[in-house]
Structure 1
Amino acid sequence: MATIIVVTFGDQYADYLWVCIAGLGVAAFGGLIFLLQRHAVRRGDRSAQRGL
């Protein structure tokens, strides 16, 4: 959401663009780990986290 606002308003918030892009990257990485853990639970891996 913040990235859309920064891109929409352009120069006024240009300093925050890279922070927003980094936030999207961190969120994507966290989502990937979450999906990998869910897949591991469904496979029955012993090292997978339970309750996801």
Structure 2
Amino acid sequence: MRLWLSEEERRPDPAPARADARKALVAGTIGWLVVAVGCLVFRDELDAAGLGWTLVAALVGVALGVVGIIVVQVIRRRAQPRDDGSSVSA
């Protein structure tokens, strides 16, 4: 096994995979929302066990997920080609 290849022996780098980060962010945010609802349902039991902070952690997860969705959406909109409006018909 060789650890080093010369430039002539290397294959070209593959094209980057296309991925939709929105789907992962939405799934994660929904997951945190489910956890937050569970924490609300079992709030007394969690407080008795010293785990009352889990509700705050779940709400922070939901908030960060929403922020992530907004950021990804803004980035996607900025990356789309814009129509300059020159083809407006009267």
- Asked if these proteins are the same fold (TM beyond 0.5), I'd say yes
| Identical-residue share of aligned pairs (%) | 14
Partner in structure 2 of residue 9 of structure 1: 42
Runs of 4+ in 1 over 2 A off after TM superposition: none
Deviation, 1:10, is 1.9
TM-score, scaled relative to structure 1? 0.68
Partner in structure 2 of residue 24 of structure 1: 62
In structure 1, C-alpha distance between the alignment counterparts of 2:71 and 2:43, rounded to whole Å = 32
- Which structure 2 segments of 5+ residues have no match? 1-33, 47-51, 83-90
Where 1:5 maps in the other structure, the secondary structure is helix
Q: Which structure has the larger Rg over C-alpha atoms?
A: 2
Where 2:42 maps in the other structure, the secondary structure is helix
Deviation, 1:23, is 0.7
Which structure shows the bigger proportion of residues in helix conformation?
Answer: 1
Count of aligned residue pairs for this structure pair: 44
In structure 2, C-alpha distance between the alignment counterparts of 1:43 and 1:36, rounded to whole Å = 13
Report the RMSD for the aligned CA atoms in angstroms.
1.5
